[in-house]
Structure 1
Amino acid sequence: MHDDVAIDVRSEPFRAGESVVLRSLHTFWSRGRAVSFAVAGRVLVDNDDVAVVASPLGAAVRRRAGVGSGPNSRLVLPVDWDGSYIEDSWSGVPVVRVHPKGAAWSVWRWHDGTRWLPDWYINLELPWVRTPMGFDSQDWTLDVIARRDAEGRWSVRYKDEDELAFYADKGLVSEAHRAMIQRTGEQATTAVHDGSFPFNADWSEWTPQPNWLAPQMPADWDAA
């Protein structure tokens, strides 16, 4: 399920406030290259250094339909996907995703309308690529969860290690790729403890606003 995402096909940055779609793309055997997951968002920042995209409540979400397998029955294997998608929307709490350009991860935080929630979610993935409709990447299953205590000390744990192992057991992830993902997790952990960007950033500039309209999917969002 591992393949490379192409270089930027849109060189002009998105303006603050523009609606975009974030997509995770994979190659699914006979179906070829396709969208695995997509979520609409609103651009807060897009420049040479960072992309920041917020998904308010109600933002459109698309995920592959099919019978779930693996841990918690959450994974839809390529053989179980019929090519259709479930239409959904972002629920719970608005999320802000910060991607340092070129990094193999994005950092997610949730804001409940009053405060930022304590967990920092580091999504391991291919570096984002700017497209005419938003940003493309490729999710790598394994994630890192960080939390800072009152004294400023960080604690870090991994999430979905069992799902990555399941993919490896099914032959969908090679041992070399699995090792690369794990090394990326170690690099992300180092970035947390070092206080690298965006762990040292002022997130108040990216606080979701309650009057933001929920962005919807653009036309041809599933064109790979």
Structure 2
Amino acid sequence: MRRFAPGDTIVRREILRDEVWFGYASICVQDTDELLVTYLPGGTRFGYPRHGAFPAGRHPYQVQGRQEWHGHGMLALHFPGIEHAVFVFWKGPRRTWNGWYFNLQDAPRRTAIGFDTLDHELDLHWAPGAPRWEWKDVEEFAAAGPVRYPGRMEAIQAEGDRVARLLDAGERWWHDSWADWHPDPRWLPRQLPAGWDELAPTLP
């Protein structure tokens, strides 16, 4: 299995019903047996495949006309075999940490250019200073789930419930220091490589 070095481009793709649905080029922060950390700089362009059956429709970002990531960038902590990632965001002119975001998604599947996953819509967020986490996008998950994740909704909800129980028990499977992380100032938005939307991508 290929390991990525800090600063390498890592392509994150979403695969829905055996088709590439969405993708973007992020940057490797850390890649070990226990943790894959990527950074998405502000200004990174989103990728939408031109061809496909798209049985669940086009990606919501494409429907909304979103072409790139805005803001201070996003740090994403991915755990092998685990059906969620921990996202870290910052906001405002002082780049203030905006809490822990538990993004339910397929466990990462490595590819030659990065990894594949699929966002599960349902999430949890623990805002800074809040006494407890809260569910996010519950109604959206209920509406989109039957088409996007047929036969999987109970398992997705179960993963969210598992994360909630761990948080309620005071568990931490990530390090709080990520809230204070800063990207290398030389890291600029990356571009998707040619052929990124082929189901079995190869190295450029």
The two structures have a TM-score, normalised by structure 1, of: 0.74
Q: Which runs of 5+ in 1 are unaligned?
A: 1-10, 28-32, 66-76
Q: Pick from 11, 24, 36 the counterpart of residue 14 of structure 2.
A: 24
How far apart are the structure 2 equivalents of 1:87 and 1:118?
22
Deviation at 1:88, TM superposition (A): 2.1
Aligned residue for 1:186? 161
The reply on whether 1:91 has 2:70 as its aligned counterpart is yes
The reply on whether 1:60 has 2:39 as its aligned counterpart is no
The reply on whether 1:158 has 2:135 as its aligned counterpart is yes
Aligned residue for 1:68? none
How far apart are the structure 1 equivalents of 2:148 and 2:109?
23
More strand by share: 1
How far apart are the structure 2 equivalents of 1:163 and 1:60?
24
Matches within 5 A, 1:9-158: 11-27=1-17, 33-63=18-48, 78=55, 80-81=57-58, 88-112=67-91, 114-149=94-129, 154-158=131-135
SS in 2 for 1:48: coil
How far apart are the structure 1 equivalents of 2:148 and 2:73?
32
How far apart are the structure 1 equivalents of 2:46 and 2:143?
25
157-166 or 17-26, larger mean C-alpha shift: 157-166
Letter paired with 2:47: R
Q: Is the 8 A contact 1:63 1:87 kept in 2?
A: no
How far apart are the structure 1 equivalents of 2:134 and 2:172?
18
Runs of 4+ in 1 over 6 A off after TM superposition: none
Q: Deviations over 1:134-190 (max 9, x none)?
A: 1111211111111242xxx7411111111221124x55544x521111111011123
How far apart are the structure 2 equivalents of 1:102 and 1:205?
26
The two structures have a TM-score, normalised by structure 2, of: 0.81
How far apart are the structure 2 equivalents of 1:124 and 1:206?
22
Deviation at 1:192, TM superposition (A): 2.8
Letter paired with 1:12: R
Q: Is the 8 A contact 1:144 1:157 kept in 2?
A: yes
Q: What is the aligned-residue identity percentage?
A: 26
How far apart are the structure 2 equivalents of 1:212 and 1:173?
35
Aligned length: 190
Q: Which runs of 5+ in 2 are unaligned?
A: 200-204
Tell me how large the CA RMSD over aligned residues is.
2.6
Aligned residue for 1:196? 172
Matches within 5 A, 1:205-220: 206-220=181-195
Q: Is the 8 A contact 1:15 1:43 kept in 2?
A: yes
Deviation at 1:119, TM superposition (A): 2.6
Letter paired with 2:105: E
